[in-house]
Chains A and B, each alone.
Chain A
Amino acid sequence: QVTLRESGPALLKPTETLTLTCTVSGFSLKTGGMCVSWIRQSPGKALEWLALIDWDDKKYYTTSQKTRLTISRDTTKNQVVLTMTNMDPVDTATYYCTRMSMVQGIFRWFDPWGQGTLVTVSP
């Protein structure tokens, strides 16, 4: 059974750096075609894709936040880490990690998703 679980701080102050960890089980981060993404959802708002790391350690970022984001992985711990610098109250959101597969050179869909972790940015 494939599962993903997010962990990280629930509360941050403005300008601080957010570090979130996604611990995966049921698959290997090094298996060909396996990718993990971070997606966030501000309260009452839509889903917003942030970053993706693939099985070959290639990284993709949303253009709007690229300068603030870093995605990395620790294959020995089965973990994917997202850091976001200079946090602001507008970054208050539930952050999800989710798996995506690449098959025959085509990125597929996001499934499954972690339960999400709510991060609040407040002075």
Chain B
Amino acid sequence: QSVLTQPSSVSGAPGQRVTISCTGSSSNIGAGYDVHWYQQVPGTAPKLLIWGNANRPSGVPDRFSASKSGTSASLAITGLQAEDEADYYCQSYDSSLSGSWVFGGGTKLTVL
């Protein structure tokens, strides 16, 4: 059971828009800790996709955007492309217990 909750899967046709939610609590996202997003193509290491809630590293297309509000965050992908098919993870910091970095359970994006 992950501290951050994501849908297990989402899908969309090429060109469409999809969103992936990430729900936390008052000890992580709701406490003001930043949310970061990673993309993991099967068989490869995760790659930073979004940092600091809504910022794209250089090289990440502007088709990817993200936001945060309250105890949740979301990732949006517009103009879906076949190469976007991957697993997506949100990540934050949790201050409960002794504190730790936490991830969502991951969302498998299928491009139909």
Contacts and interface: CB of A to CB of B under 8 A. Distances in A.
Interface stretch (A13-21, A42-50, A81-89): A42-50
Q: How large is the interface on A (under 10, 10 to 19, 20 to 34, 35 or more residues)?
A: 20 to 34
A116 B41 CA distance: 13
Nearest to A48: B103
B98 A63 contact: yes
Interface in B70-112: 89, 91, 93, 97-106
Interface string A22-62: 00000000000000010000000011110010000000101
B89 A47 contact: yes
Contacts, number: 57
Contact of B36 (A46, A110, A112): A110
B14 interface: no
Q: How large is the interface on B (under 10, 10 to 19, 20 to 34, 35 or more residues)?
A: 20 to 34
A110 B93 contact: no
A106 B31 CA distance: 14
A96 B45 CA distance: 8
Contacts of B97: 63
Given A47-B46, A49-B102, 9 more contacts: A60-B100, A62-B100, A96-B45, A106-B34, A109-B48, A109-B52, A110-B46, A111-B57, A116-B45
- Listed from nearest, the 10 A-B pairs whose CB atoms lie closest are A111-B48, A109-B36, A49-B101, A113-B45, A47-B103, A109-B51, A46-B105, A46-B106, A63-B97, A116-B45
Interface of B: 2, 34, 36, 38, 44-48, 51-52, 57, 89, 91, 93, 97-106
